[in-house]
Structure 1
Amino acid sequence: MLFNSYQFIFLFLPAALLGYFLFGRLGNLASVVWLALASLAFYAASNWQFVPLLLGSVAFNYVIGFLLISQRPRAVPRRAILVAGIAFDLAVLGTFKYAGFLAANLNALFSTGVTIDILLPVGISFYTFTQIAFLVDAYRGNVAHYALPHYALFVTYFPHLIAGPILHHSDIIPQFDRSEAQRPDPHLILCGLIIFAIGLFKKTALADGIQPLVALAFGPVAPTFDQAWIGALAYTFQLYFDFSGYCDMAIGISLMFGIFLPLNFNSPYKATSIIDFWRRWHMTLSQFLRDYLYIPLGGNRHGRLMRYVNLMLTMVLGGLWHGAAWTFAAWGALHGLYLCVNHAWNSYVPRVSPRFARPAELAALILTFASVVVAWVLFRADSMASAILILSRMADPTRIAFGRGEMADVMFIVVYAGIAWFAPNTQAIMGYDHNKRTVGEAIAAWRWRPAFLYAGAALLAFGILGIQPHSEFIYFRF
Structure 2
Amino acid sequence: MILGVGVNLAALGWFKYADFFVENVNALAGTVIPLPNVVLPLAISFFTFQQLAYLVDCHRGKAREPRFLDYSLFVCFFPQLIAGPIVHHSEMMGQFKQLKTKIFNWVNVSSGLNLFLLGLFKKVVIADRLSPWVAQGFDNPASLNLLASWASSLAYTFQIYFDFSGYTDMAMGTALMLNIKLPQNFNSPYKALSIQDFWSRWHMTLSRFLRDYLYIPLGGNRYGLSSTCRNLFITFLLGGIWHGAGWTFVIWGVLHGLAMVVHRFWTNAGLRMSKYLAWPVVFLFVNFAWVFFRAKTFADAMRMLKSMVGLNDIVLPKFMQSAFLADYGVAFSSPLYGFHQRDLVVPLLAACFLSCLWCSNSNEITERFTPTRLRLVGAVAVAVMSIIYVGSPSEFIYFQF
TM-score by length of 1: 0.76
| 1:258 to partner: Cα distance | 0.7
| 1:150 to partner: Cα distance | 1.6
Partner of residue 474, structure 1 = 397
Q: In the alignment, is residue 241 of structure 1 matched against residue 145 of structure 2? A: no
- After superposition, residues 211-250 of structure 1 pair within 5 angstroms as 211-222=131-142, 223-250=144-171
| 1:102 to partner: Cα distance | 0.3
Residues of 2 paired with 1:470 and 1:161: CA distance? Answer: 23
Letter in 2 for 1:270: K
Residues of 1 paired with 2:25 and 2:395: CA distance? Answer: 31
| 1:188 to partner: Cα distance | 0.8
Partner of residue 450, structure 1 = 373
- After superposition, residues 83-232 of structure 1 pair within 5 angstroms as 83-114=2-33, 115-179=35-99, 182-222=102-142, 223-232=144-153
Residues of 1 paired with 2:3 and 2:51: CA distance? Answer: 13
Partner of residue 334, structure 2 = none
Partner of residue 247, structure 2 = 326
Question: Using a 3 Å threshold, how does the CA distance of structure 1 residues 420 and 458 change in structure 2: closer, same or farther?
Answer: same
Partner of residue 421, structure 1 = 357
Q: In the alignment, is residue 390 of structure 1 matched against residue 313 of structure 2? A: no
- Superposed CA offset, 1:401-449 (max 9, x none): 2235426533331121111111110111121xxxxxxx73xx25xxxx2
Ranges in structure 2 where 5+ consecutive residues have no aligned partner: 319-337
Letter in 2 for 1:453: L
Q: In the alignment, is residue 406 of structure 1 matched against residue 339 of structure 2? A: yes
Moved over 3 A (4+): 349-352
Partner of residue 177, structure 2 = 256
| 1:297 to partner: Cα distance | 0.8
Contact persistence 1:254–1:261 (CA under 8 A): yes
- After superposition, residues 306-345 of structure 1 pair within 5 angstroms as 306-345=227-266
| 1:372 to partner: Cα distance | 0.2
| 1:397 to partner: Cα distance | 5.7
Contact persistence 1:267–1:425 (CA under 8 A): yes
Residues of 1 paired with 2:264 and 2:148: CA distance? Answer: 33
Question: Using a 3 Å threshold, how does the CA distance of structure 1 residues 341 and 221 change in structure 2: closer, same or farther?
Answer: closer
- After superposition, residues 359-374 of structure 1 pair within 5 angstroms as 360-374=274-288
SS of match in other structure, 1:476: coil
Identical pairs, percent? 45
Partner of residue 379, structure 1 = 293
SS of match in other structure, 1:165: coil
How many residues matched? 377
| 1:477 to partner: Cα distance | 2.2
Residues of 2 paired with 1:427 and 1:167: CA distance? Answer: 17
| 1:145 to partner: Cα distance | 2.9
Residue 284 of structure 1, aligned match among 199, 202, 205? 205
TM-score by length of 2: 0.90
SS of match in other structure, 1:477: coil
Residues of 2 paired with 1:132 and 1:270: CA distance? Answer: 31
Contact persistence 1:150–1:176 (CA under 8 A): no
Residues of 2 paired with 1:122 and 1:192: CA distance? Answer: 25
Q: Which has the higher contact order (CA 8 A, sep 6+)?
A: 2
Question: Using a 3 Å threshold, how does the CA distance of structure 1 residues 469 and 410 change in structure 2: closer, same or farther?
Answer: closer
Residues of 1 paired with 2:76 and 2:210: CA distance? Answer: 21
Question: Using a 3 Å threshold, how does the CA distance of structure 1 residues 242 and 140 change in structure 2: closer, same or farther?
Answer: same
Partner of residue 331, structure 2 = none
Partner of residue 346, structure 1 = 267
Contact persistence 1:194–1:457 (CA under 8 A): no
Partner of residue 267, structure 1 = 188
| 1:471 to partner: Cα distance | 2.3
Ranges in structure 1 where 5+ consecutive residues have no aligned partner: 1-81, 353-359, 432-438
SS of match in other structure, 2:399: helix
Contact persistence 1:378–1:384 (CA under 8 A): yes
Residues of 2 paired with 1:103 and 1:192: CA distance? Answer: 45
SS of match in other structure, 1:406: coil
Contact persistence 1:106–1:112 (CA under 8 A): yes
Residues of 2 paired with 1:398 and 1:320: CA distance? Answer: 31
| 1:183 to partner: Cα distance | 2.1
Residues of 2 paired with 1:469 and 1:96: CA distance? Answer: 30
Contact persistence 1:205–1:463 (CA under 8 A): yes
Residues of 2 paired with 1:211 and 1:473: CA distance? Answer: 10
Residues of 2 paired with 1:235 and 1:383: CA distance? Answer: 16
Residues of 1 paired with 2:229 and 2:255: CA distance? Answer: 13
| 1:351 to partner: Cα distance | 4.0
- Superposed CA offset, 1:451-470 (max 9, x none): 11211111111111110355
Alpha-carbon RMSD? 1.6
